[in-house]
Chains A and B, each alone.
Chain A
């Protein structure tokens, strides 16, 4: 018999002899959540939460205002090179940055062929699928157009988030069944710049991921 069958057989015997604690938890979770302090306006809550961990943001009325917002960050943080995916919606931004003399790269091949370029770019720019207001978390679903390393390998990460895609809580996002129906290769909730507290529990920002996280809230 295989290890698999041995293990499962032992567990099946155990499952019969030991006590079970069946419990309908979903209803209790909803009840508990209803007791919590109200989240209020999701955008305001989201910005308040990301502020607590030192994430800066700019609010812009629509996509046409994004290039200027990004350019102002490029100046402020002394960014000399940026990288985006192939997302067509970001083409105006790329053109704008190039016109400003910013070295604007595209991750168009693969991480293997563009490795050195990826690890030697100052800033990655991605869109966000949405965000979770109560914990101040960006909801990123990397894709063929926007690979995972764009939000991970560069010292600065700029995330572009539409206000309409804010969810009050993680449970609210999961309730829409998008994930359940089609789990993406990778989904990551990002709640700030990379950090550690492994030395004397002292918070230090920028370990393996970005040292700076910037959010443009659109709408």
Chain B
């Protein structure tokens, strides 16, 4: 799955006309926003908590290299094996190597966006290893052979009837739209898999450098199963997931679950600090952590864009985004969608590939307000738009690869013309007079300008310009 400017326009337009999708999203996003708001309103001074969360992440990011080394040190001391991957391919190769060594045939997976980023499932399956998603939402989209459409609720775009059809068709179960019955079906299927899987793969929500602890936040218990039942556990994390102190956990977790689902805490908050120790009767014999860069270190090198790495992946910015609510998650053709996706994807994949996503925003600012760690998403969008459209000849590529790739020659010429007109009063007056005279001849819809213009009526220029009115006012 690769972002693509041309297809984005088509997919987004199609999605806005899809009534079922619109209905599904309206229903679920409305609910999830209400729950999030209620959870924050129950607190005294919630904004202060957001500020503290922001400060914690900023501090951890400022000390990132040191904290990663400490994390590695602590984890290794207790027998957790640490691997570093510069690219998605490297990360996948590491997981495959472990699986091969252990003779793994079946992998069960908890929800992990990093593994979506590396496309681990497809990679392992190509090498003959079966991979089964264990999170219910992920399981549903895996059965439907679709990518997740939301970073927290992967099947948010589907309603119960669509899922009922899917289960009936793929699992051969009797047709039912009863949600409890469908959940029970998934439980039955996955139970058997947990018993026999040779490896569990999960993500990491917080990695605590101070103690060398991997923290997983979840409600279903699939994460606990993946980290307990199979003999090998592999945790995949983006390098920005490291947090300095144990004492940072209460605040960060408070913010994460409230923002993601409106819960004060998730059902399970699972902390892992070592593989099975001597005498213990369950838990994995081997625990591995794969620390993934995949473009993050280059994001890190920019003091402003670095804020992108503070993200907790709570999904709150998706839930509140007017664009996401209308086009859904799939139109972006990116692992990370919605507001966070619009700033993260172009930085990871490059502006040439994904620069167009920075334009898919009204800059309404709702995402920045709702973000638990106050990432200034609209500012970063503007910054990336600027990077994308700056003249490459100027040679001031702040962001590096992809800078200037979104520059449109026609647009650049238009602006140049604008500059000339506004520099010279005579030209300006002539041009406005011409525009007024020609206005009647122009089509009312600015069809050719942009998709945005297609849906809007052109304003009618006043019959007399402000200059003229002033000149002719009585007593002038």
Contact = CB atoms under 8 A, between A and B. Distances in A.
Given A180-B211, A188-B271, A19 B219 contact: no
Contacts of B179: 199-200, 202, 204
Interface stretch (A73-81, A95-103, A168-176): A168-176
A184 B283 CA distance: 12
Contacts of A210: 221
Contacts of A174: 246-247, 249-250
A190 B300 contact: no
B271 A187 contact: yes
Interface in B34-82: 43-45, 48-49, 51-52, 55-56, 58-59, 61-66, 68-69, 78
Given A107-B281, A170-B250, A190-B268, A183 B211 contact: yes
Nearest to B154: A198
A198 B84 contact: no
B301 A10 contact: yes
Contacts of B160: 199-200, 202
Given A17-B301, A201-B32, A206-B187, A32 B45 contact: yes
B56 A204 contact: no
Interface in B265-290: 265-277, 279-283
Contacts of B58: 20-21, 23
Most buried by A among B69, B78, B301: B301
Interface string B439-465: 000000000000000000000000000
Contacts, number: 269
B188 to A, nearest CB: 11
Nearest to A135: B265
A207 B261 contact: no
B264 interface: yes
A36 B298 contact: no
Interface string A103-123: 000011111000100010000
A23 B59 contact: yes
Nearest to A35: B44
B353 interface: no
A182 B32 CA distance: 38
Given A8-B69, A17-B303, A32-B45, A189 B280 contact: no
Interface stretch (B132-140, B388-396, B428-436): B132-140
Contact of B65 (A15, A37, A109): A15
A188 B28 contact: no
A197 B154 CA distance: 11
Contacts of B62: 15, 19-22
Nearest to A151: B224
Contact of B297 (A11, A25, A111): A11
Interface residues of A, number: 80
A44 interface: no
Most buried by B among A28, A197, A201: A197
A55 to B, nearest CB: 10
A6 B269 contact: no
Contact of A11 (B247, B300, B303): B300
B247 A171 contact: yes
Given A109-B281, A183-B273, A186-B283, A11 B68 contact: yes
A89 interface: no
Contacts of B187: 206-208
Contact of A115 (B195, B221, B253, B265): B195
B183 interface: yes
Given A180-B211, A185-B276, A199-B163, 9 more contacts: A15-B62, A15-B63, A18-B302, A25-B52, A28-B52, A36-B44, A110-B282, A189-B268, A209-B220
Interface of B: 24, 27-28, 31-32, 43-45, 48-49, 51-52, 55-56, 58-59, 61-66, 68-69, 78, 84-86, 90, 134-137, 140, 153-156, 158-160, 163, 179-180, 182-184, 186-187, 190-191, 194-195, 210-213, 219-222, 224-225, 227-229, 239, 245-251, 253, 261, 264-277, 279-283, 291, 293, 297-298, 300-303, 306
The 9 closest A-B pairs by CB, nearest first: A209-B221, A21-B58, A111-B282, A18-B303, A198-B137, A20-B62, A183-B273, A208-B221, A14-B301
Interface of A: 2-4, 6-8, 10-15, 17-23, 25-26, 28-29, 32, 35-37, 49, 53, 107-111, 115, 119, 134-137, 142-144, 147-149, 152, 169-171, 174-175, 179-180, 183-202, 204, 206-210
5 contacts: A3-B86, A14-B297, A32-B49, A175-B247, A196-B136
